[in-house]
Structures are given as structure tokens and as C-alpha cells.
Amino acid sequence: MFNILSIGLFVTIIMNVKAYPSIFSGESVENEVPSYDFPFVSRSQWSARQPNQTLPLKTPVPYVVIHHSYIPAACHTRETCCKAMRSMQNFHMDGHQWWDIGYHFGVSSDGTVYEGRGWSTLGAHALHFNSVSIGICLIGDWRVSLPPADQIKATKSLIAAGVELGYISPQYKLVGHRQVRATECPGDALYENIKTWTHYSAFPSSVKDLIHVKELPESFREELIRNRTKSESLPLA
């Protein structure tokens, strides 16, 4: 009887260790990195600075916004891509006075994903749209040429992982940065390509459509309408 009870207790402990590894390892759940089917580099691995502050992102988000970095240029190795991530973070924090790198993730030309703000932290990648989206930056200038196939594949796999993990809505809409902000980003070549991706949405077509995006806070949309009314009522010079 003692042996049977001992075996039963041992099995229970093993099952709990597998189900709740953070409890038995002494690490918090927040420190655990999901297992992905693509190369993944965490913040600590690219020597990210600590953010000045963070706010939580309400998930699952209804939108994914695609960016290109323009500068820094495309990178193909761990060393150059880590340098690119640090460069973007420094520019965002020191140049713009943002709390951290703006993007949730960066993707390199060799198909490696680099953790930016991560899944659960509010980003700073698309003004007025940060609260409803995950921002992914394909490192490089994609105005004329397309990103390599590995870079596009990794980006699509990252989005799929976000859906599977519950951070992105299964009914998400994919847009380019230029659709929610007056910018050339993510570059003409990449923008034309993402139009062929699953879940691409032609709406909003520009920043003017934001007043009709129901996922945005009603108070913000009302403010946009008031500002537009004021600008239209100004006398012509």
C-alpha cells in the first residue's frame, strides 16, 4: 500500500512540474519565453535597455500593423541585427523620448524574430492605434525591393503564434503603417506584398478613416471629429 501511495504522489508531483514549471523553478511566468518554430532572440539576448516605463496592452488585439525600419538597413546576422535593435531603441528612447523601442517585435532578413516590447506591453509604433494593435517591424528599407522570403515567412509565423497564444484575435485585421498614419511606411514594395497576406484589410485606407474604426475609443473618435470640424471651418488664407 505504501509503495502504491508513493508512486501516486510521485506521478502527481511530476505532472504539476510539467504543468506549472515556473512554480518549481522559482521563476515567474512573465520570465518564461514561449517555444516558437522560428529563431527567436529575447530582449536580454540583444542587450536591450530597461524601459523607462510600461503600460499593459489589452489583448487579444484586433489589428496587426506592419512596418519597415527604413534605417537601419536590412541585417542578416545575429551581431548586425542586435546592433540594429539597439540602434532603433536608442533612437526611440533618446531621440523621441519614448519609454522603449516602439515596436513589439523586429524581424531580420534571415528569418529571426527579435523581441521588442513583447506581446503584453502597450507599443509606440502607430500614433492613435497603439491601444488596438501589435506592431511588427521588418528591419530594412522596403520601398523598392521585397524583404527576403525568410523574413516574410517568419513574420507570418510570428503572427500565427500570437493568435495561438491568445495575444492576437483570430479575426485580426492586417494593415500597413501608412493606413493609420501619414507615412510611406512600410515601403511601397512591402505594402503591395502584404495586400496578398491572409487577413489583410483595406480599411482603414488612411488616417482619415480612423473616425470610423469602431475598435478605437469613442472619446478619441469624437475628438477627431471635433478637430476636423474646426479645421474645415477655418477661413481660407
Query: Given this model, what pLDDT does residue 19 score?
Result: 35
Cβ pair 124, 156 in contact under 8 A: no
- Cα–Cα distance, 112 to 115 (Å, whole number): 10
Q: pLDDT at position 110, please?
A: 98
Q: Which superfamily is assigned to 37-232 in CATH? A: Peptidoglycan recognition protein-like (3.40.80.10)
Looking at residue 9, its pLDDT comes to: 41
Burial (CB count within 10 angstroms: exposed 0-12, middle 13-18, buried 19+), residue 25: exposed
pLDDT (0 to 100) of residue 10:
41
CA dihedral over 115, 120, 124, 125, signed as positive or negative: positive
Cα 7 to Cα 79: distance, rounded to the nearest angstrom:
49
* Residue positions counted in the chain: 237
CB 108 within 8 A of CB 139: yes
Whole-angstrom distance, CA of residue 156 vs CA of residue 195: 13
pTM equals 0.82
Successive 10-residue mean pLDDT values, the chain, 237 residues = 44 37 33 80 98 98 98 98 98 98 98 98 96 98 98 98 98 98 97 98 94 89 72 41
Supply the DSSP symbol for 56: B
**Every domain of the chain and the residues it spans:** 37-232
Sheet of 105-107: strand order equals: 40-41, 113-115, 105-107, 133-138, 61-68, 168-176
In Å, how far are 71, 120, 142, 148 from 19, measured between CA atoms? 43, 22, 43, 38
Contacts of 218-221 with CB under 8 Å at 24 or more apart are: 220/128
pLDDT at 23: 29
